[in-house]
Chains A and B, each alone.
Chain A
Amino acid sequence: MTPAVSFQGVSRHFGAVKAVDALSLDIQPGEFFAMLGPSGSGKTTCLRLIAGFEQPTAGSISIFGERAEGVPPYRRNVNTVFQDYALFPHLNVLDNVAYGLMVKGTGKAERHKAAEEALALVRLPGYGARRPGQLSGGQRQRVALARALVNQPKVLLLDEPLGALDLKLREDMQEELKSLQKALGITFVFVTHDQGEALSMADRVAVFNEGRIAQVGAPQDIYQKPATRFVADFVGSSNVLPPDFVQRWSGQKRWGSLRPEAIRVNLGGGAKGNEGVAARLVATNYLGATTRLALDADGLRLHATVPAGSALPREGEQVTLSFNRESLHLMEEGA
């Protein structure tokens, strides 16, 4: 199957800064694909390379098998939902949504009808006459989505689409985007620095670090089997365990990761041998459904999350930590 988007050894350097460095990646048609990483990791540059706002300094990009280098954005059947929506302030909502059809020469009646349908799709029917300035952040987001979708793009790019929304709205939009993508079957590529968003929405996630991809895989793989210390640390803040510690439990001298929720915290100290790890509780953070504990195990800083309502030790108290051997994941490399 021809990939929807294919990067072959793509680099994008800005002077000495290697925003994207010799990166290869295939995104499959109909996939909901997330590019996850901290700011400056190259994920947004990758999105802009697909949209055509940036040109690669080396390597090649193809979209559904067609070479994309040197093709301007306006000749790519790819549309973008911008981070701050980029709605045209001088046009009303209907003309904003119909813009793509207007520049392609579609007649007024036809494009307004299509725009109305797109607005209904994002649950904003009848908002056409308003100005973007009169809408809330969540509504603008939906208009931006409708404006992109009305062109029936081969690939839809979303740049931090939910970044500016508050928590409740963000959760609603996550579900909505996912069901919309399923219904339309369009390839969605979205960029985010929020691991929760990437894990909950995407079919596959690429974790970016310093212009390269640290790991690509299904959310479960990324979360449970991080390939590198960076992935373990960035995605859901795993405990990264040094080789000496891991050797005690697995016999192999490699870096390991352990999820905070995989650690059981038993009250009382006195751990002996390989039955548990003696630790001291340093701090507790109440998070609602869970409580996050910061622990000090003989100089090694560990985090554990326990369900709300568990019996909690006091700060400074000695505890014993235990976990299943299977939940200790050995990483491929220590990078």
Chain B
Amino acid sequence: MSVQATLPTRQAPAVLPSSGGMRGALSDLFWRRPRVLLLLMLAPPLLWLGIVYIGSLIALLLQSFFSIDEFSGLINRQFTLKTYGDLLQAANLDIILRTVTMAALVTLASAAIAFPIAYYAARYARGRWKALFYLAVMLPLWSSYLVKVYAWKLILAKEGILTWLLAKVHLGWLLDGWLALPYVGGSSLSVSATGTFIAFVYVWLPFMILPVQASLERVPTNLIEASSDLGASPGQTFRNVLFPLALPGIVAGSIFTFSLTLGDYIIPQIIGTSRLFIGQAVYAQQGTAGNIPLAAAFAVVPIVIMGFYLWGAKKLGAFDAL
């Protein structure tokens, strides 16, 4: 096939001159030595992480090995395990157990609620619906955390809409029965552990939905089809393919929900009983009590728990599909 040449001929050198000046010289330098550019880009965040973050973490760890002089209230800067001994008192262990139980329940509930939403968004939502999904998930994050928690306090109050609604549908007895139970109950939802739980789940849910959605998005549709093709019912496909492949996302989300619940001190302060959570204990110890070492020791607890949690998740193979 003969082709007529139609491109206009143009005189141009094979190698273009440098664009000149500082910018030209810098561009050429970065092209020749990509590591210089990488170093320049990474230096500020690495300094931030290394000094400000890790540094203060180590300072915190050191504090927890100091002790407080009970008479003068001064900090005794001698390394000792006395503060950790105090941490293991029954009252303090009670706080730790309560917080960990709450964090575990919040995480399980978040995962159970988040999965269907994330599944819909990853599998079915397209275009405008996907944008709407992101908006719906992110929207609560735009308003102040305190406003949301107070809103929940009103919703859950004895005169609140939830009590009113349940009474209207003649289910008031159910609420009363639940509130009469030990541990989870109270005089109204807003001063019960159930109320704390509901507020926690609501506030942390987006942090579970987004990673689960991202992990489900990465599961190719044809793996679901292949499972079905090989004779697996939808339930079997969920157990054997979808869930294991979504597990890294669930673990990532649960790191958020679990650790955020472990450290939070505002929600249980506003909604719930007078029994303390770890965050409140830290707040009380470093503030009114002035016992910085014990506050630090309390703050170390979530770090240690998260360490074990991640180690266990790795053992279970949660990161195998990454």
A positions within 8 Å CB-CB of B:
51-53, 72-75, 78-80, 82-84, 86-90, 99-100, 102-104, 147-148, 151, 282-283, 294
Contacts and interface: CB of A to CB of B under 8 A. Distances in A.
A143 B227 CA distance: 15
A294 B1 CA distance: 8
Nearest to B244: A90
B38 interface: no
Contact of B231 (A74, A88, A89, A294): A74
A197 to B, nearest CB: 21
A86 B223 contact: yes
B321 interface: yes
Contacts of A86: 220, 222-223, 225-226
A234 B223 CA distance: 32
Nearest to B248: A90
5 contacts: A52-B229, A53-B228, A74-B228, A104-B231, A151-B231
B320 A79 contact: no
A51 B229 CA distance: 7
A84 B222 CA distance: 9
A152 B2 CA distance: 55
Contacts of A102: 240
Question: On chain B, which size bracket covers the interface?
Answer: 20 to 34
Given A86-B220, A282-B2, A283-B1, A103 B231 contact: yes
Interface in B232-286: 232-233, 236, 240-241, 244-245
B225 A53 contact: yes
Contacts of B317: 90
Given A82-B222, A84-B222, A147 B230 contact: yes
B90 to A, nearest CB: 44
A99 B321 CA distance: 17
A90 B320 contact: yes
Contact of A99 (B1, B230, B245, B320): B230
Contacts of A89: 245, 321
Interface centre among A72, A103, A147, A151 (most CB of B within 10 A): A103
Contacts of A78: 229
Contacts of B227: 88, 99, 103
B217 to A, nearest CB: 15
Nearest to A89: B321
Contacts of A74: 228-233
B1 A103 contact: no
Nearest to B222: A86
A30 to B, nearest CB: 21
From DSSP, what is the main secondary structure of chain B's interface residues?
helix
A72 B240 CA distance: 18
Contact of B226 (A88, A90, A151): A88
B233 to A, nearest CB: 6
B2 A103 contact: no
Contacts of B1: 282-283, 294
A147 B223 CA distance: 13
B91 to A, nearest CB: 44
A80 B229 contact: yes
Contacts of A87: 226
B229 A73 contact: yes
Contacts of B244: 90
Contacts of A79: 229-230
Given A75-B231, A90-B244, A90-B321, 16 more contacts: A51-B229, A53-B228, A73-B229, A74-B230, A74-B232, A79-B229, A80-B225, A83-B222, A86-B225, A86-B226, A88-B223, A90-B245, A99-B230, A100-B230, A103-B227, A294-B1
Interface string B277-305: 00000000000000000000000000000
Contacts of B236: 103
Nearest to A316: B2
A200 B233 CA distance: 37
Contacts of B226: 80, 82, 86-88
A82 B225 contact: yes
Contacts of A51: 225, 229
A72 B277 CA distance: 50
Contacts of A100: 230-231
A82 B224 CA distance: 12
B243 to A, nearest CB: 10
Contacts of B220: 84, 86
Interface in B199-223: 220, 222-223
B223 A72 contact: no
Contact of B230 (A53, A84, A90, A151): A151
Contacts of B228: 52-53, 72-74
A111 to B, nearest CB: 12
Please give me the 6 A-B residue pairs with the lowest Cβ-Cβ distance, nearest first. A100-B230, A86-B226, A103-B232, A86-B222, A73-B228, A90-B321
A131 to B, nearest CB: 9
Contacts of A72: 228
B310 to A, nearest CB: 19
